[in-house]
Amino acid sequence: MSRRQNDEDVGEIWNRFQDIINWAKAIFPRQRSSMTSVDWGFLYDHHHNRSDLDPVALEAEVMRLHKDDDVKRKPGIYPYLLTGDEKHLNIRVFSPAMREAAYERQGGICPHCKKTFQLKDMHADHIDPWSEGGPTVAENCQMLCSPCNRRKGAK
């Protein structure tokens, strides 16, 4: 925008702006405050020609994700629904089912200290660190005992 601030004819940029707004309203018809910080221009450039976007299905997912307390970044819902990249949601919490599956897979044994624990005495941890792009999925979940999890976090 700044490189065009002295243009006398803003018709081209105005048309682009209108195209982006109309596209966003067409696929996400219900306006929410979480939409304000979304980079709609980027999403438009990469997704406006897609024919597989169903506004009704997308709205149902937006509603579900807005209610999900594990979704820490609500504006990330829109890019997530278009890209499938869960990093936009800032989800770091493993579901109870993922925690239990990891516990069973490990046989209740902490992979760091090799001691056996009850599920309630263990913490879900990302094998590939979340901060380095590790997803919050069952395959990336390991259960650590509380002391090992604290030591790992202190490094």
pLDDT digits (tens, 9 = 90+) for 40-57: 999 999 999 999 999 999
- The CA distance from 11 to 101, in Å, is 57
pLDDT digits (tens, 9 = 90+) for 58-72: 999 999 999 987 788
Long-range contacts of 125-128 (CB under 8 A, 24+ apart): 125/149, 125/152, 126/92
Query: Cβ of 5: how many Cβ atoms within 10 Å?
Result: 7
pLDDT for residue 145: 95
pLDDT for residue 150: 87
> Contact, 43 vs 82, CB < 8 A?
yes
pLDDT digits (tens, 9 = 90+) for 122-140: 999 999 988 787 888 899 9
pLDDT digits (tens, 9 = 90+) for 98-116: 999 999 999 999 999 999 9
